Amino acid sequence: MTLNEQIKNMLVEGLNLPDVTEADIQDDAPLFGEGLGLDSLDAVEVVVLVQQRFGVTIRDMDEGRVALQSVNALAAFIERNALK
């Protein structure tokens, strides 16, 4: 399973998204607002899930704004920070 697939699995299972499958999530589609349609409180859940599943912490607004843009962006952030 690729990292992008793991992230999609995390989003679907971890957030318990109704009527959304991993195949429905585009790699470069926005996670929040339009796109997957997550809202700000979902960001809290995503941050916690990323920490639990990947051991990577999104620490602040600047990091989060970039990392939570899309699956691709989140994967890049995890790869970058998992190496540290």
Partner 1 sequence: MSSPSKRWNSRSLGSRFAHNIFYTAIRLGGRWPAYIMLYFVVAFYTCLPRVRERSAAYRHLRLGPRGPLQSWVDCYTLHMNFARTLVDRAVLGIRGEFWLEAREGHSQLLQALMARGRGVVVLTAHVGCWQLSMSSLEHIDAPKAVVMLRDHADVDRQYFEHGQNCGPGFSVIDPRGPLGGVLEMLEALRQGALLCMMGDREFGSENSLVDVTLLGRSASMPASAYHLASAAQAPLAIIFTRRTGPGRGQVWVEEVIEVPAGLGRNSSAYAPFAQRFADALTSYTNFYPFQFYNFFDLWTEQR
Q: Is there a contact between 15 and 42 (Cβ–Cβ < 8 Å)?
A: yes
Q: Does 58 bind partner 1 (CB under 8 A)?
A: yes
Q: How far is CA 66 from the centre of its chain?
A: 11
Stretch that binds partner 1, among 1-9, 20-28, 45-53, 71-79 (CB under 8 A): 45-53
| Minimum separation from the CB atom of position 13 to partner 1 (A) | 11
Q: Does 34 bind partner 1 (CB under 8 A)?
A: no
Q: Which residues are 32's β-sheet partners?
A: 38
Residue 12 CB: number of other CB atoms within 10 A? 18
Which residues lie near partner 1 (CB under 8 A)? 15-16, 32-33, 39-45, 47-48, 58-61, 64-65, 68
